[in-house]
Amino acid sequence: MKAFYKTVAPYAEDKMNLPVSNVEEAIPFYETIMGFKVVSRSESPVKSAILGRDDIQIGLAENGGDSSQEGCFFEVDNAEAAFSELRTNGLKKEDAGFRIDKHGATSYKVFFVVAPDGLCYCLGERQN
């Protein structure tokens, strides 16, 4: 069972301008492990790629930013299915480390994935 990615929110300012040192080297992880597809590529003003999955899009860019300080929160319909899908796709992480985090009045069951490019992603399922 695949998870559905409902929304995306960047940790900083721009989910369409996430910093990576090499777009071409970064893309295979997103396609193979995370299930994204390349929507478009650009060489100007910097080398970049737009990736899409379900109802969301993110952008990777060789913009000189620090990838270890960036990433996004993905709201998914099922956190356990999301982790299982990533593992099935080849993610080398044995334990999701699920926890409940609150954002305002809303609670989410979350886990984290750090991409080889250094970007960190939090995947979370809204709890009732």
Res. 84: pLDDT tops 90: yes
pLDDT of res. 89: 97
Beta strand spans in 14-105 (E): 18-19, 37-42, 48-53, 56-61, 71-76, 99-103
Q: What is the pLDDT of residues 51-71, one digit of tens each?
A: 999 999 999 999 999 999 999
Average pLDDT over residues 8-27: 95
Res. 108: pLDDT tops 90: yes
Residues 6+ positions from 103 with CB-CB distance below 8 Å: none
Res. 128: pLDDT tops 90: no
Q: Which two tokens stand for residue 63?
A: 């913009």
Average pLDDT over residues 19-37: 98
Res. 1: pLDDT tops 90: no
Residues 6+ positions from 33 with CB-CB distance below 8 Å: 86, 89, 90, 91
With CA atoms as reference, report the closest residue to 113 among 104, 102, 124. 124
Q: Which domain holds residue 24?
A: 5-127
Higher pLDDT, 116 or 104: 116
Please count the structural domains in the chain: 1
Res. 13: pLDDT tops 90: no
Higher pLDDT, 104 or 49: 49
Give one word for 118, left, alpha or beta, with left for phi > 0 and alpha for psi -120 to 50.
left
Q: Residue 72 and residue 67: Cα distance in Å, rounded?
A: 11
Residue 108 belongs to domain with CATH number: 3.10.180.10
